[in-house]
Amino acid sequence: MNASADDGPIAPNGTPWWELTVHPGTNKRFGQERRLSAWLWFNKRIGETFTMNELRDALGPNIVGTSEHLNRRLRTLREVGWAIPSYKDDGSLKPDEYRLQSRGARYWLDEDRKAYKRFKASARIRRKVMDRDGWRCVICGIASNESYPGEPDEAARLTVGHRVPQERLRARGAADNIDNWRTECARCNEPVRDEIPDPHQYDEVLVQVRRLSRGNKQTMLNWLQKGERTRSELDRAYDQVRTLTHNEREHIRTYLQSSTSKSS
């Protein structure tokens, strides 16, 4: 199928993609994941919410009605880059409500689906990322089950997120990998990923680090080695360093070790 000819909501046979039951020009069944992805792509804007009942109404009587069945279909989309949190991920959502946080592969198009390169975060990968990041959110520094400042009843829950959204990487022809994954608390992971700017780049962060005094470099080194910090005048530089990839942070640490070992 020519993806460039199928950018719109209407399939070659004149039917909206999400209303198809048979693949155009064949006798092959048109799967529910394909219909779901097409309906979400063309009928929901980034940040909008939807419910299971809304999906059933939109996709018609041929969609299987149980919520668990539809949830499995949504999980398939999440595996190809779609971010669709539920109330379990986002406390602002109601039960049976979901948000389209970012789009992934155009699953209804054969070539797009087959060509989509994804880095799947298995349980082993997630643990590896969290072990690497010291089991703390790299954005705000909070640890799992710690209370947020001024909110003693709100405990942090850790998850794994992206420095650069997968869809943005794909648009640039870049591959996702473990260096793009980082530990985030659920609160820092909430913003709509396609609307946030790219993180600070290594070169610009290194410039900021180099401007620090020798004593502040030593403090920065201590923070990097501990994987956490205290609030001080170094917050701005340290916050930028924390947004770098793991390998880039290692380069900063090496620079700081070299810089602080020199005589004044």
- Predicted local confidence at residue 192, as pLDDT: 45
Token pair recorded at residue 123: 């349980």
Does the pLDDT of residue 5 top 60, yes or no?
no
Token pair recorded at residue 33: 């994941």
Which residues touch 68 (CB under 8 Å, ≥6 apart)?
Answer: none
Asked if residue 118 lies in contact with residue 81, where contact means CB atoms within 8 angstroms, the answer is yes
**Weakest mean pLDDT among 21-35, 159-173, 204-218:** 159-173
pTM above 0.85, yes or no: no
pLDDT tens column, 28-38: 888 888 999 99
pLDDT tens column, 73-110: 887 888 777 888 888 777 888 888 999 988 888 889 88
Token pair recorded at residue 228: 């956490």
If one compares 43 and 202, the residue with the highest pLDDT of the two is 43
Q: Determine the Cα–Cα distance for residues 112 and 1; give it in Å rounded to an integer.
A: 10
pLDDT band at 2 (very low <50, low <70, confident <90, very high): very low
DSSP assignment string, 37-82: HHHHHHH--TT-EEEHHHHHHHH-TTS---HHHHHHHHHHHHTTT-
pLDDT band at 252 (very low <50, low <70, confident <90, very high): very high
- Predicted local confidence at residue 148, as pLDDT: 83
Token pair recorded at residue 251: 């380069």
Domains and CATH numbers, the chain: 3-103 (1.10.10), 123-195 (no CATH), 202-261 (no CATH)
If one compares 14 and 239, the residue with the highest pLDDT of the two is 14
pLDDT tens column, 119-153: 566 788 888 999 888 888 988 888 888 888 777 78
Beta bridge partners of 155: 147
